Amino acid sequence: MVVSVKKELPFLQESFRSSEVRVQLGHNLWIDSAGDKKDIQVDDFPIFVFLRAVGFESVILKPESHQYWDVWTQRMAEYEQIFIQDPENLVIDECVWNELDSASGEFVIQCLLPATHTPSTRQSLKAQVGLPPPFAAPLKIDPVALQKFVEEVQRQSAQETLLRIQSILREFKQDSRRTTPETWSNLLCDVLTIALESRELEKALQVARDHQEDLKRIWNDHARFLRLCGAYDAKPQELSDWASIFESLENRMLVIYLQQNLHERAGPQILKLMHARIQRDPDRMIEFCLANQAEIQKQLLPWMTPYWKLKHFTLVQSEFERAIQRGDGEGDLKLWITSLLKCAPHQALQDLERYFQKKRAFWKRDFPHVQKAILAALQEAPGSESIAYLKRWKLNVQGVLADRIERILSLYSSEQKGGNRK
Protein backbone atom coordinates (compact mmCIF):
# COMPACT_ATOMS: atom_id res chain seq x y z
CA MET A 1 0.00 0.00 0.00
CA VAL A 2 1.40 3.38 -0.96
CA VAL A 3 1.06 6.05 1.69
CA SER A 4 1.26 9.03 -0.50
CA VAL A 5 1.85 12.07 1.71
CA LYS A 6 5.30 12.33 3.17
CA LYS A 7 5.79 13.42 6.75
CA GLU A 8 8.56 15.84 5.90
CA LEU A 9 6.17 18.09 3.97
CA PRO A 10 6.13 21.65 5.36
CA PHE A 11 2.45 21.84 6.23
CA LEU A 12 2.71 18.56 8.08
CA GLN A 13 5.79 19.67 9.95
CA GLU A 14 3.92 22.79 10.91
CA SER A 15 0.88 20.91 12.14
CA PHE A 16 2.97 18.38 14.01
CA ARG A 17 5.00 21.12 15.62
CA SER A 18 2.50 23.23 17.43
CA SER A 19 -0.46 24.50 15.55
CA GLU A 20 -3.55 23.60 13.62
CA VAL A 21 -3.21 23.57 9.84
CA ARG A 22 -6.05 23.69 7.34
CA VAL A 23 -5.42 22.34 3.85
CA GLN A 24 -7.83 23.95 1.36
CA LEU A 25 -8.17 21.18 -1.19
CA GLY A 26 -9.97 23.16 -3.86
CA HIS A 27 -7.70 26.20 -3.62
CA ASN A 28 -4.27 24.56 -3.46
CA LEU A 29 -3.53 26.35 -0.19
CA TRP A 30 -2.65 25.56 3.36
CA ILE A 31 -3.41 27.98 6.18
CA ASP A 32 -1.59 27.97 9.49
CA SER A 33 -3.03 28.94 12.85
CA ALA A 34 -1.99 32.55 12.34
CA GLY A 35 -4.07 32.66 9.18
CA ASP A 36 -1.09 32.80 6.82
CA LYS A 37 -1.81 31.18 3.45
CA LYS A 38 0.79 29.19 1.56
CA ASP A 39 0.59 27.45 -1.81
CA ILE A 40 0.62 23.69 -2.23
CA GLN A 41 -0.13 21.62 -5.31
CA VAL A 42 -2.89 19.29 -4.11
CA ASP A 43 -2.52 17.22 -7.30
CA ASP A 44 0.88 16.10 -6.02
CA PHE A 45 -0.76 14.33 -3.03
CA PRO A 46 -2.96 11.47 -4.16
CA ILE A 47 -4.82 11.15 -0.87
CA PHE A 48 -5.79 14.81 -0.98
CA VAL A 49 -6.84 14.41 -4.61
CA PHE A 50 -9.01 11.50 -3.55
CA LEU A 51 -10.54 13.47 -0.64
CA ARG A 52 -11.26 16.40 -2.92
CA ALA A 53 -12.77 14.11 -5.54
CA VAL A 54 -15.20 12.55 -3.10
CA GLY A 55 -16.39 16.00 -2.10
CA PHE A 56 -14.27 17.28 0.78
CA GLU A 57 -13.34 20.93 0.75
CA SER A 58 -10.59 20.98 3.38
CA VAL A 59 -8.67 18.89 5.87
CA ILE A 60 -7.79 20.16 9.35
CA LEU A 61 -4.68 18.71 10.95
CA LYS A 62 -4.24 19.23 14.69
CA PRO A 63 -0.83 19.00 16.45
CA GLU A 64 -1.74 15.61 17.88
CA SER A 65 -2.32 14.26 14.38
CA HIS A 66 1.27 13.08 14.09
CA GLN A 67 0.47 10.08 16.32
CA TYR A 68 -2.37 9.07 14.06
CA TRP A 69 -0.98 10.08 10.70
CA ASP A 70 0.14 6.65 9.53
CA VAL A 71 -3.10 4.95 10.59
CA TRP A 72 -5.19 7.61 8.90
CA THR A 73 -3.24 7.69 5.65
CA GLN A 74 -3.27 3.91 5.52
CA ARG A 75 -7.06 3.89 5.85
CA MET A 76 -7.49 6.60 3.23
CA ALA A 77 -5.22 4.68 0.85
CA GLU A 78 -7.33 1.57 1.37
CA TYR A 79 -10.52 3.50 0.62
CA GLU A 80 -8.88 4.90 -2.46
CA GLN A 81 -7.84 1.46 -3.67
CA ILE A 82 -11.36 0.09 -3.20
CA PHE A 83 -12.73 3.12 -5.01
CA ILE A 84 -10.36 2.78 -7.95
CA GLN A 85 -10.88 -0.93 -8.30
CA ASP A 86 -14.63 -0.90 -7.86
CA PRO A 87 -16.21 2.52 -7.33
CA GLU A 88 -19.61 1.02 -6.66
CA ASN A 89 -18.33 -0.84 -3.61
CA LEU A 90 -17.31 2.25 -1.64
CA VAL A 91 -20.21 3.96 0.12
CA ILE A 92 -18.67 7.33 0.82
CA ASP A 93 -21.17 8.33 3.54
CA GLU A 94 -20.24 5.22 5.54
CA CYS A 95 -16.45 5.59 5.47
CA VAL A 96 -14.58 6.85 8.53
CA TRP A 97 -12.89 9.96 7.19
CA ASN A 98 -11.87 11.63 10.45
CA GLU A 99 -9.40 10.56 13.12
CA LEU A 100 -10.25 10.92 16.79
CA ASP A 101 -7.77 11.30 19.62
CA SER A 102 -8.55 8.37 21.86
CA ALA A 103 -7.65 10.31 25.05
CA SER A 104 -9.51 13.57 24.47
CA GLY A 105 -12.17 12.30 22.09
CA GLU A 106 -11.42 15.29 19.87
CA PHE A 107 -10.78 15.22 16.13
CA VAL A 108 -7.10 15.32 15.31
CA ILE A 109 -7.63 14.96 11.59
CA GLN A 110 -10.90 16.25 10.25
CA CYS A 111 -12.19 16.26 6.70
CA LEU A 112 -14.72 19.01 6.03
CA LEU A 113 -17.41 19.13 3.41
CA PRO A 114 -18.37 22.44 1.79
CA ALA A 115 -21.02 24.42 3.62
CA THR A 116 -23.29 23.95 0.62
CA HIS A 117 -23.04 20.16 0.81
CA THR A 118 -26.30 18.33 1.31
CA PRO A 119 -26.24 14.65 2.20
CA SER A 120 -27.60 12.26 -0.36
CA THR A 121 -31.30 12.96 -0.27
CA ARG A 122 -32.24 11.77 -3.68
CA GLN A 123 -35.19 9.48 -3.29
CA SER A 124 -35.75 8.62 -6.89
CA LEU A 125 -34.52 5.20 -7.84
CA LYS A 126 -34.38 6.21 -11.46
CA ALA A 127 -30.80 6.24 -12.56
CA GLN A 128 -29.37 9.58 -13.58
CA VAL A 129 -26.93 8.66 -16.25
CA GLY A 130 -25.63 11.25 -18.68
CA LEU A 131 -23.41 10.79 -21.70
CA PRO A 132 -19.70 10.41 -21.02
CA PRO A 133 -17.28 13.07 -22.25
CA PRO A 134 -15.86 12.77 -25.78
CA PHE A 135 -12.32 11.79 -26.68
CA ALA A 136 -11.43 15.18 -28.08
CA ALA A 137 -7.86 15.74 -26.95
CA PRO A 138 -4.76 14.78 -28.89
CA LEU A 139 -3.78 11.16 -28.36
CA LYS A 140 -0.31 11.36 -26.89
CA ILE A 141 1.00 7.84 -26.91
CA ASP A 142 4.02 6.12 -28.35
CA PRO A 143 3.15 4.92 -31.90
CA VAL A 144 5.21 1.77 -31.39
CA ALA A 145 3.23 0.91 -28.24
CA LEU A 146 0.02 1.62 -30.15
CA GLN A 147 1.06 -0.69 -32.98
CA LYS A 148 1.94 -3.41 -30.46
CA PHE A 149 -1.42 -3.08 -28.72
CA VAL A 150 -3.41 -3.28 -31.96
CA GLU A 151 -1.40 -6.34 -32.98
CA GLU A 152 -2.16 -7.92 -29.62
CA VAL A 153 -5.88 -7.48 -30.28
CA GLN A 154 -5.53 -9.01 -33.74
CA ARG A 155 -3.40 -11.88 -32.46
CA GLN A 156 -5.94 -13.20 -29.95
CA SER A 157 -6.24 -16.87 -30.82
CA ALA A 158 -8.93 -19.43 -30.21
CA GLN A 159 -6.51 -21.17 -27.87
CA GLU A 160 -6.25 -18.06 -25.67
CA THR A 161 -10.00 -17.62 -25.57
CA LEU A 162 -10.39 -21.25 -24.54
CA LEU A 163 -7.72 -20.91 -21.87
CA ARG A 164 -9.63 -17.95 -20.45
CA ILE A 165 -12.89 -19.86 -20.30
CA GLN A 166 -11.15 -22.92 -18.89
CA SER A 167 -9.59 -20.89 -16.10
CA ILE A 168 -12.97 -19.57 -15.05
CA LEU A 169 -14.94 -22.81 -15.40
CA ARG A 170 -13.57 -24.15 -12.13
CA GLU A 171 -14.46 -20.93 -10.28
CA PHE A 172 -17.91 -21.05 -11.79
CA LYS A 173 -18.57 -24.57 -10.59
CA GLN A 174 -17.37 -23.73 -7.08
CA ASP A 175 -18.87 -20.29 -6.62
CA SER A 176 -21.90 -19.81 -8.78
CA ARG A 177 -25.09 -19.72 -6.79
CA ARG A 178 -27.21 -20.24 -9.87
CA THR A 179 -25.48 -23.28 -11.28
CA THR A 180 -27.79 -26.17 -11.81
CA PRO A 181 -26.30 -29.48 -12.92
CA GLU A 182 -27.94 -28.85 -16.31
CA THR A 183 -26.47 -25.37 -16.72
CA TRP A 184 -23.08 -26.71 -15.80
CA SER A 185 -23.22 -29.66 -18.19
CA ASN A 186 -24.55 -27.50 -21.00
CA LEU A 187 -21.72 -25.05 -20.51
CA LEU A 188 -19.14 -27.82 -20.55
CA CYS A 189 -20.60 -29.26 -23.71
CA ASP A 190 -20.64 -25.86 -25.40
CA VAL A 191 -17.04 -25.18 -24.42
CA LEU A 192 -16.02 -28.59 -25.73
CA THR A 193 -17.84 -27.92 -28.97
CA ILE A 194 -16.15 -24.58 -29.42
CA ALA A 195 -12.76 -26.12 -28.69
CA LEU A 196 -13.36 -28.75 -31.35
CA GLU A 197 -14.76 -26.24 -33.85
CA SER A 198 -11.58 -24.25 -33.30
CA ARG A 199 -9.44 -27.34 -34.06
CA GLU A 200 -8.20 -27.41 -30.46
CA LEU A 201 -8.53 -31.15 -29.85
CA GLU A 202 -6.02 -31.15 -26.99
CA LYS A 203 -7.96 -28.43 -25.14
CA ALA A 204 -11.20 -30.32 -25.66
CA LEU A 205 -9.63 -33.51 -24.32
CA GLN A 206 -8.47 -31.68 -21.20
CA VAL A 207 -11.96 -30.34 -20.49
CA ALA A 208 -13.52 -33.73 -21.19
CA ARG A 209 -11.04 -35.55 -18.97
CA ASP A 210 -11.66 -33.12 -16.11
CA HIS A 211 -15.43 -33.30 -16.32
CA GLN A 212 -16.36 -36.66 -17.87
CA GLU A 213 -18.98 -37.44 -15.23
CA ASP A 214 -20.67 -34.04 -15.65
CA LEU A 215 -20.95 -34.63 -19.37
CA LYS A 216 -23.29 -37.59 -18.85
CA ARG A 217 -26.22 -35.22 -18.56
CA ILE A 218 -25.88 -33.75 -22.00
CA TRP A 219 -26.03 -36.92 -24.03
CA ASN A 220 -29.81 -36.78 -24.00
CA ASP A 221 -29.76 -33.29 -25.49
CA HIS A 222 -29.92 -34.16 -29.18
CA ALA A 223 -29.11 -30.72 -30.53
CA ARG A 224 -26.06 -30.31 -28.27
CA PHE A 225 -24.81 -33.83 -28.95
CA LEU A 226 -25.12 -33.39 -32.70
CA ARG A 227 -23.27 -30.06 -32.63
CA LEU A 228 -20.53 -31.51 -30.46
CA CYS A 229 -20.21 -34.66 -32.50
CA GLY A 230 -20.18 -32.81 -35.81
CA ALA A 231 -17.71 -30.19 -34.59
CA TYR A 232 -14.57 -32.08 -35.49
CA ASP A 233 -13.56 -34.44 -38.26
CA ALA A 234 -10.98 -36.60 -36.50
CA LYS A 235 -8.07 -37.90 -38.53
CA PRO A 236 -7.45 -41.68 -38.27
CA GLN A 237 -4.60 -41.17 -35.79
CA GLU A 238 -6.82 -38.91 -33.63
CA LEU A 239 -9.87 -41.13 -33.67
CA SER A 240 -9.28 -42.87 -30.39
CA ASP A 241 -8.53 -39.62 -28.48
CA TRP A 242 -11.49 -37.84 -30.03
CA ALA A 243 -13.82 -40.74 -29.23
CA SER A 244 -12.74 -40.61 -25.58
CA ILE A 245 -14.65 -37.29 -25.27
CA PHE A 246 -17.80 -39.38 -25.62
CA GLU A 247 -16.65 -41.98 -23.09
CA SER A 248 -19.73 -41.58 -20.89
CA LEU A 249 -22.19 -41.80 -23.80
CA GLU A 250 -23.97 -45.13 -23.46
CA ASN A 251 -23.88 -47.55 -26.38
CA ARG A 252 -27.66 -47.57 -26.44
CA MET A 253 -27.74 -43.79 -27.04
CA LEU A 254 -25.05 -44.01 -29.67
CA VAL A 255 -27.08 -46.58 -31.59
CA ILE A 256 -30.15 -44.35 -31.38
CA TYR A 257 -28.15 -41.44 -32.80
CA LEU A 258 -26.85 -43.79 -35.47
CA GLN A 259 -30.39 -44.84 -36.39
CA GLN A 260 -31.86 -41.35 -36.43
CA ASN A 261 -29.19 -38.89 -37.37
CA LEU A 262 -27.03 -40.28 -40.14
CA HIS A 263 -28.49 -37.70 -42.53
CA GLU A 264 -27.34 -34.84 -40.25
CA ARG A 265 -24.09 -32.91 -40.58
CA ALA A 266 -22.82 -35.00 -37.69
CA GLY A 267 -23.69 -38.27 -39.49
CA PRO A 268 -20.16 -39.15 -40.65
CA GLN A 269 -18.81 -38.41 -37.18
CA ILE A 270 -21.43 -40.62 -35.55
CA LEU A 271 -20.22 -43.43 -37.80
CA LYS A 272 -16.63 -42.67 -36.84
CA LEU A 273 -17.53 -42.71 -33.19
CA MET A 274 -19.18 -46.10 -33.55
CA HIS A 275 -16.19 -47.39 -35.45
CA ALA A 276 -13.77 -46.12 -32.80
CA ARG A 277 -15.82 -47.58 -30.00
CA ILE A 278 -16.02 -51.02 -31.58
CA GLN A 279 -12.32 -50.94 -32.40
CA ARG A 280 -11.42 -50.05 -28.85
CA ASP A 281 -13.52 -52.67 -27.10
CA PRO A 282 -15.12 -55.07 -29.57
CA ASP A 283 -16.03 -57.68 -26.95
CA ARG A 284 -18.04 -55.22 -24.95
CA MET A 285 -19.86 -54.08 -28.07
CA ILE A 286 -20.54 -57.69 -29.15
CA GLU A 287 -21.94 -58.41 -25.73
CA PHE A 288 -24.12 -55.31 -26.01
CA CYS A 289 -25.23 -56.28 -29.51
CA LEU A 290 -26.21 -59.85 -28.61
CA ALA A 291 -28.07 -58.74 -25.51
CA ASN A 292 -30.12 -56.15 -27.34
CA GLN A 293 -33.29 -55.92 -29.38
CA ALA A 294 -33.45 -56.76 -33.06
CA GLU A 295 -33.58 -53.11 -34.14
CA ILE A 296 -30.29 -52.33 -32.37
CA GLN A 297 -28.72 -55.57 -33.54
CA LYS A 298 -29.46 -54.70 -37.16
CA GLN A 299 -27.58 -51.43 -36.72
CA LEU A 300 -24.61 -53.05 -35.07
CA LEU A 301 -24.11 -56.27 -37.03
CA PRO A 302 -22.40 -54.71 -40.07
CA TRP A 303 -19.86 -53.15 -37.68
CA MET A 304 -19.14 -56.35 -35.80
CA THR A 305 -18.06 -58.56 -38.73
CA PRO A 306 -14.30 -58.28 -38.24
CA TYR A 307 -14.55 -59.05 -34.55
CA TRP A 308 -16.54 -62.30 -34.38
CA LYS A 309 -14.69 -65.21 -32.78
CA LEU A 310 -15.37 -68.90 -32.26
CA LYS A 311 -16.55 -68.24 -28.73
CA HIS A 312 -19.47 -66.18 -30.07
CA PHE A 313 -20.72 -68.90 -32.43
CA THR A 314 -23.42 -70.46 -30.26
CA LEU A 315 -24.85 -67.09 -29.28
CA VAL A 316 -24.90 -65.86 -32.87
CA GLN A 317 -26.53 -69.10 -33.96
CA SER A 318 -29.34 -68.65 -31.43
CA GLU A 319 -29.89 -65.06 -32.56
CA PHE A 320 -29.97 -66.23 -36.20
CA GLU A 321 -32.64 -68.81 -35.42
CA ARG A 322 -34.60 -66.24 -33.50
CA ALA A 323 -34.42 -63.96 -36.53
CA ILE A 324 -35.82 -66.72 -38.74
CA GLN A 325 -38.65 -67.30 -36.29
CA ARG A 326 -39.40 -63.59 -36.24
CA GLY A 327 -39.63 -63.69 -40.01
CA ASP A 328 -36.80 -61.23 -40.59
CA GLY A 329 -36.08 -60.41 -44.21
CA GLU A 330 -33.31 -61.71 -46.39
CA GLY A 331 -31.03 -58.72 -45.73
CA ASP A 332 -31.22 -59.06 -41.96
CA LEU A 333 -30.68 -62.82 -42.10
CA LYS A 334 -27.67 -62.32 -44.31
CA LEU A 335 -26.05 -60.21 -41.53
CA TRP A 336 -26.36 -63.10 -39.09
CA ILE A 337 -25.07 -65.63 -41.62
CA THR A 338 -22.03 -63.45 -42.35
CA SER A 339 -21.43 -63.30 -38.59
CA LEU A 340 -21.71 -67.09 -38.27
CA LEU A 341 -19.27 -67.57 -41.14
CA LYS A 342 -16.87 -65.17 -39.45
CA CYS A 343 -17.12 -66.90 -36.06
CA ALA A 344 -16.37 -70.38 -37.34
CA PRO A 345 -16.57 -70.89 -41.12
CA HIS A 346 -16.40 -74.67 -41.12
CA GLN A 347 -18.94 -75.13 -38.37
CA ALA A 348 -21.21 -72.51 -39.93
CA LEU A 349 -21.24 -74.20 -43.33
CA GLN A 350 -21.99 -77.53 -41.73
CA ASP A 351 -24.81 -75.97 -39.80
CA LEU A 352 -26.23 -74.09 -42.77
CA GLU A 353 -26.27 -77.22 -44.89
CA ARG A 354 -29.50 -78.36 -43.27
CA TYR A 355 -31.35 -75.58 -45.13
CA PHE A 356 -30.38 -77.26 -48.40
CA GLN A 357 -30.97 -80.93 -47.47
CA LYS A 358 -33.53 -82.88 -49.44
CA LYS A 359 -34.88 -84.73 -46.47
CA ARG A 360 -36.14 -81.46 -45.10
CA ALA A 361 -37.79 -80.48 -48.33
CA PHE A 362 -41.20 -80.55 -46.66
CA TRP A 363 -40.10 -77.26 -45.05
CA LYS A 364 -39.06 -75.94 -48.35
CA ARG A 365 -41.72 -73.30 -48.63
CA ASP A 366 -40.43 -71.72 -45.45
CA PHE A 367 -36.82 -71.54 -46.51
CA PRO A 368 -36.35 -69.80 -49.82
CA HIS A 369 -35.50 -66.46 -48.16
CA VAL A 370 -33.09 -68.18 -45.75
CA GLN A 371 -31.46 -69.99 -48.64
CA LYS A 372 -31.21 -66.75 -50.61
CA ALA A 373 -29.68 -65.05 -47.60
CA ILE A 374 -27.10 -67.84 -47.25
CA LEU A 375 -26.18 -67.59 -50.91
CA ALA A 376 -25.91 -63.79 -50.68
CA ALA A 377 -23.55 -64.11 -47.72
CA LEU A 378 -21.41 -66.72 -49.42
CA GLN A 379 -21.29 -64.75 -52.67
CA GLU A 380 -19.57 -61.91 -50.83
CA ALA A 381 -16.61 -64.03 -49.71
CA PRO A 382 -16.46 -67.33 -51.53
CA GLY A 383 -13.72 -69.77 -50.57
CA SER A 384 -12.74 -73.29 -51.54
CA GLU A 385 -14.69 -74.81 -48.67
CA SER A 386 -17.87 -72.86 -49.33
CA ILE A 387 -17.59 -73.65 -53.05
CA ALA A 388 -17.49 -77.34 -52.20
CA TYR A 389 -20.65 -76.94 -50.12
CA LEU A 390 -22.35 -74.93 -52.86
CA LYS A 391 -21.65 -77.64 -55.40
CA ARG A 392 -23.33 -80.15 -53.09
CA TRP A 393 -26.28 -77.89 -52.31
CA LYS A 394 -26.86 -77.22 -56.00
CA LEU A 395 -27.96 -80.78 -56.42
CA ASN A 396 -30.83 -80.24 -53.97
CA VAL A 397 -32.31 -77.03 -55.40
CA GLN A 398 -33.95 -75.95 -58.61
CA GLY A 399 -34.93 -72.82 -60.49
CA VAL A 400 -33.77 -69.43 -59.27
CA LEU A 401 -31.68 -70.84 -56.43
CA ALA A 402 -29.90 -73.28 -58.71
CA ASP A 403 -29.17 -70.47 -61.18
CA ARG A 404 -27.81 -68.32 -58.39
CA ILE A 405 -25.49 -71.06 -57.13
CA GLU A 406 -24.34 -71.62 -60.68
CA ARG A 407 -23.51 -67.91 -61.04
CA ILE A 408 -21.46 -67.96 -57.82
CA LEU A 409 -19.60 -71.07 -58.92
CA SER A 410 -18.77 -69.75 -62.38
CA LEU A 411 -17.75 -66.36 -60.97
CA TYR A 412 -15.48 -68.07 -58.48
CA SER A 413 -14.06 -70.30 -61.19
CA SER A 414 -13.30 -67.38 -63.52
CA GLU A 415 -11.73 -65.42 -60.64
CA GLN A 416 -9.55 -68.38 -59.82
CA LYS A 417 -8.46 -68.69 -63.46
CA GLY A 418 -7.79 -64.96 -63.64
CA GLY A 419 -5.81 -65.20 -60.43
CA ASN A 420 -3.79 -68.11 -61.73
CA ARG A 421 -2.99 -66.27 -64.98
CA LYS A 422 -1.70 -63.36 -63.00
Partner 1 sequence: MNAAILREISSIFTCDFPLFEAEVAALLNIRKYDEYTYLHSLNVARLSVGLGRRLSFTDDMLVDLGWAALLHDIGKLHIPLDILNKMKKFSADELAVMQSHPVEALAALAETQPITLDRLRRLSAAFEHHQRYDLKGYPVVQKKLTLHPFSRIVAVADTFDAMTTDRIYQRRILPDMALKIMAQGFGTIFDPFVLQAFITSMGVYPVGSLVRLDDERLGVVTRYLSESQIDRPEIVLIDKTSSSERFIDLSLPEHRSRKILRSEFPEDFDVNVQEILNEVRR
Contact 351, 313 (CB under 8 A): no
Q: What's the per-residue H, E or C state across 262-292?
A: CCCCCHHHHHHHHHHHHHHCHHHHHHHHHCC
Q: Does 39 participate in binding partner 1 (rule CB under 8 A)?
A: no
Q: Contact between 38 and partner 1 (CB under 8 A)?
A: no
Strand partners, 31: 22, 37
CB of 186 to partner 1, least distance (A): 5
Minimal distance in Å, beta carbon 12 to partner 1?
20
Residue with Cβ nearer partner 1 (116 or 420) = 116
Q: Which is nearer to partner 1, 124 or 293 (CB)?
A: 124
137 makes contact with partner 1 (CB under 8 A): yes
Exposed, middle or buried, 190 (CB in 10 Å: 0-12/13-18/19+)?
Answer: middle
Does residue 214 belong to the site contacting partner 1 (CB under 8 A)?
no
Under DSSP, the state recorded for 87 is G
| CB nearer to partner 1: pick between 174 and 293 | 174
Query: Is residue 1 within the footprint of partner 1 (CB under 8 A)?
Result: no
Query: Per-residue b/e over 69-85, b at no fewer than 16 CB within 10 Å?
Result: beebbebbbebbeebee
Radius of gyration of the chain (CA): 42
The answer to the question of residue 217 lying near partner 1 (CB under 8 A) is: no
Q: Which is nearer to partner 1, 84 or 361 (CB)?
A: 84
Residue count, binding to partner 1 (CB under 8 A) = 83
CA 177 to chain centre: 20
* Closest alpha carbon to 165 in 186, 194, 196: 194
At closest approach, how far in Å is the CB of 48 from partner 1?
10
Please tell me the distance from the alpha carbon of residue 267 to that of residue 249, in angstroms, as a whole number.
16
294 binds partner 1 (CB under 8 A): no
Among 8, 18, 175, 362, binds partner 1 (CB under 8 A): 175
Sole window of 127-135, 262-270, 302-310, 333-341 interacting with partner 1 (rule: CB under 8 A): 127-135
Out of 131, 235, 325, 421, which residue is the one contacting partner 1 (CB under 8 A)? 131
Return the exposure string of 14-25: e unless at least 16 CB atoms fall within 10 Å of the residue's CB, then b. Answer: bbbeeebbbbbb
43 binds partner 1 (CB under 8 A): yes
By the rule CB under 8 A, 384 interacts with partner 1: no
183-212 positions binding partner 1, by CB under 8 A: 183, 186-187, 190-191, 193-194, 197-198
Q: Does 124 bind partner 1 (CB under 8 A)?
A: yes
